[in-house]
């Protein structure tokens, strides 16, 4: 067995989606540190992906020291369940890496299945204190290792005079409530007719269609741009034209897009859900509002434009620096000793 050989189980779809996932970034950074990482799976069909993951565990069973398993609350929960039990069968140390703001609910709705995964793991790794607390409360011992960015890839722009130029970066899913962004823009334009919104992300359910319908209903076609999926480099370039990053989601963990926006110098206005209050200190390095509250989010944005919180973006950048790989990597080394 090679002590530096890792099998990483997750959705290795970054080449297809254009998104750099946690799996892609963490694997690359660990490889730069001398680890050998095998990734599975890049199959798009869910059943074939699961089979491919199981085959990867079997094929690498003798050489692998650790199995990382990206763990979510929905379909991917069952990927984690099955591959973790295979890891147990072959006596391989496995590490669930916890994602998704709805995982605490899964712990309550599937207690026996959750115990099979999380009580028998070598370590459970939570990228937010929100999930660490939820798992600790269920007596699943959990390490906190935050999401990571490579800070050298993020150029901070000091936006001296903030304009009502809004950026939204997320998948179009009802869970992330993209239509709230349109409702906020409509209210914002009553005070600032020049307000604009750019929405970046893949179209995963009919929330995309609902968003388009709302744009048309409110006659906002000239003020909203939907780009679809952009690479990380392209959306970072796009972000230079915007000043405020809005996060409209109804459930969340610690989204990497928000951390990236903090690093780039955008002011963050987010719903106060899931792990967001663990990431954002309200009125210190961002603003938090209640979910589904159009007027509260609009008023928060107007406060930013009016200069009520001039140091939010600078403080946000300082916090983003704590997510840099050069800071975080030693926590991974401690686990992978």
> How confident is the model over 34-61, as pLDDT tens digits?
999 999 999 989 999 999 999 999 999 9
Q: Domains in the chain, ordered, with CATH?
A: 5-145 (3.40.50), 152-321 (3.40.50.2000)
Q: Distance (Å, rounded) from C-alpha 334 to C-alpha 118?
A: 20
Predicted pLDDT of residue 12: 76
Q: Distance (Å, rounded) from C-alpha 8 to C-alpha 20?
A: 15
Predicted pLDDT of residue 38: 96
∠ CA 255-77-124, rounded to 5°: 70
Both structure tokens of 93: 């140390």
- The residue ranges of the chain whose pLDDT is under 50 are 17
Q: By CB neighbour count within 10 A (0-12 exposed, 13-18 middle, 19+ buried), where does 247 fall?
A: buried
* pLDDT tens by residue, 232-276: 899 999 999 999 999 999 988 888 999 999 999 999 999 999 899
Phi, psi at residue 13, to the nearest 5°? -110, 15
Radius of gyration of the chain (CA): 20
């Amino acid at each position: 067995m090679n002590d530096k050989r890792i099998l990483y189980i997750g959705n290795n779809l970054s080449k297809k989606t254009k998104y750099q996932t946690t799996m892609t970034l963490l694997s690359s950074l660990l490889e730069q540190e001398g680890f050998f990482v095998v990734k599975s799976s890049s199959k798009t069909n869910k059943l074939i992906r699961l089979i491919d993951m199981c085959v990867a565990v079997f094929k690498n069973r003798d050489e692998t020291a650790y199995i990382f398993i990206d763990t979510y609350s929905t379909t991917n929960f069952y990927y984690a369940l099955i591959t973790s039990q295979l890891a147990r069968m072959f006596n391989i140390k496995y590490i669930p890496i916890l994602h998704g703001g709805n995982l605490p609910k899964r712990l309550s709705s599937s207690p026996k299945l959750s115990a099979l995964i999380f009580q028998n793991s070598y370590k459970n790794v939570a990228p937010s204190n929100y999930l660490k607390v939820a798992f600790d409360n269920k007596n699943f011992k959990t390490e906190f290792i935050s999401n990571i960015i490579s800070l050298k890839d993020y150029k901070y722009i000091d936006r001296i005079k903030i304009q009502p130029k809004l950026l939204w970066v997320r998948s179009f899913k009802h869970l992330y409530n993209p239509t709230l962004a349109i409702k906020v823009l409509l209210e914002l334009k009553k005070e600032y007719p020049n307000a604009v919104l750019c929405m970046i992300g893949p179209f995963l359910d009919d929330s995309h269609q609902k968003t388009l319908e709302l744009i048309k209903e409110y006659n906002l076609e000239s003020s909203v741009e939907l780009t679809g999926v952009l690479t990380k480099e392209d959306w970072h370039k796009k972000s230079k034209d915007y000043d405020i990053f809005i996060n409209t989601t109804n459930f969340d963990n610690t989204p990497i897009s928000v951390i990236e926006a903090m690093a780039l110098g955008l002011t963050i206005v987010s719903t106060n859900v899931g792990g967001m209050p663990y990431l954002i200190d309200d009125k210190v390095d961002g603003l938090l509002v209640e979910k589904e509250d159009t007027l509260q989010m609009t008023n928060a944005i107007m406060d930013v434009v009016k200069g009520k919180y001039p140091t939010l973006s600078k403080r946000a950048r300082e916090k983003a620096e704590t997510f840099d790989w050069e800071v975080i990597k030693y926590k991974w080394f401690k686990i992978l000793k």
